[in-house]
């Protein structure tokens, strides 16, 4: 595929939000080819949810650059399905590697389902895009008084009527100082998706440094402090 302008940021490269959207689209298309896509699950009263993600970025693809996005399924666990990704440039250089952990919930009560319902559909591969799993991110120390809340908008929702996973990433990155974003390059991002925000839910974003150029971010409900997701981002100076 070629990186279009509407997926690029002000630096004329694939934005981190667009990266998550592309990985999500690749997941759905591949799952559909295997008979376990969005429509297949809807017919059975289920839907996919992303629970964890770990992405390592050697370099973001540039606007108009031709890239190859590859994805495959890893061996399923009792209630989760790991999936790996790689993005290469036209010369075969590895730009991005990632691993996602997906689960299936029922549409009525949101209960996790066993992955063996799709035995015979998936053809798991042993090859690893990353040599580590998406980590469990520890909690932040929350302030007594939360910052001003924003509201989940209609444009944030996905086909399951919840905030799309990539929009949490957008909310988090919009909270960073613009001068920091312009002077630093993202190298790693880990995300734990904890709860599902819905239309008009008020939310706040809180970030705290954990090391030089490393931050934890929490997105939580402004009503009861329920966490929607946690992120950890690692950066390097962009020379």
Give tens-digit pLDDT for 18-38.
Answer: 999 999 999 999 999 988 888
Residues of the chain with pLDDT under 50: none
What is the value of pTM for the model shown? Answer: 0.94
Mean residue pLDDT of the chain comes to 93
- Report the 10 Å Cβ neighbour count for 77: 12
Query: For residue 167, how far is the Cα from the chain centroid?
Result: 9
Token pair of 88, please? 């290469």
Are 227 and 235 in contact, with CB atoms under 8 Å apart? no
Specify the pairing of strand 81-89 against strand 202-211.
unpaired
Token pair of 18, please? 């667009």
């Amino acid at each position: 595929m070629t990186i279009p302008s509407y997926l690029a940021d002000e630096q004329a490269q694939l934005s981190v939000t667009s990266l998550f959207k592309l990985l999500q689209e690749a997941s759905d298309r591949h799952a559909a080819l295997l008979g376990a896509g969005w429509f297949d699950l809807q017919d059975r009263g289920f839907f996919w949810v992303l629970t964890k993600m770990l992405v390592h970025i050697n370099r973001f693809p540039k606007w108009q650059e031709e890239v190859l996005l590859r994805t495959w399924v890893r061996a399923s666990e009792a209630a989760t399905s790991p999936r790996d990704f790689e993005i290469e440039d036209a010369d075969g250089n590895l730009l991005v590697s990632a691993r996602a952990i997906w689960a299936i919930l029922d549409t009525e009560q949101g209960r996790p389902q066993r992955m063996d319902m799709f035995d015979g559909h998936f053809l798991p591969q042993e090859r690893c895009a990353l040599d580590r799993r998406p980590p469990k991110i520890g909690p932040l120390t929350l302030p007594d008084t939360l910052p001003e809340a924003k509201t989940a908008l209609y444009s944030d929702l996905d086909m399951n009527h919840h905030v799309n996973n990539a929009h949490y990433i957008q909310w988090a990155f919009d909270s960073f100082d613009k001068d920091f974003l312009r002077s630093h390059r993202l190298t790693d991002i880990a995300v734990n998706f904890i709860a599902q925000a819905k239309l008009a839910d008020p939310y706040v974003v809180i970030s705290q440094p954990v090391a030089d150029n490393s931050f934890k971010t929490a997105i939580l409900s402004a009503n009861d402090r329920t966490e929607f997701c946690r992120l950890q981002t690692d950066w390097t100076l962009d020379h």
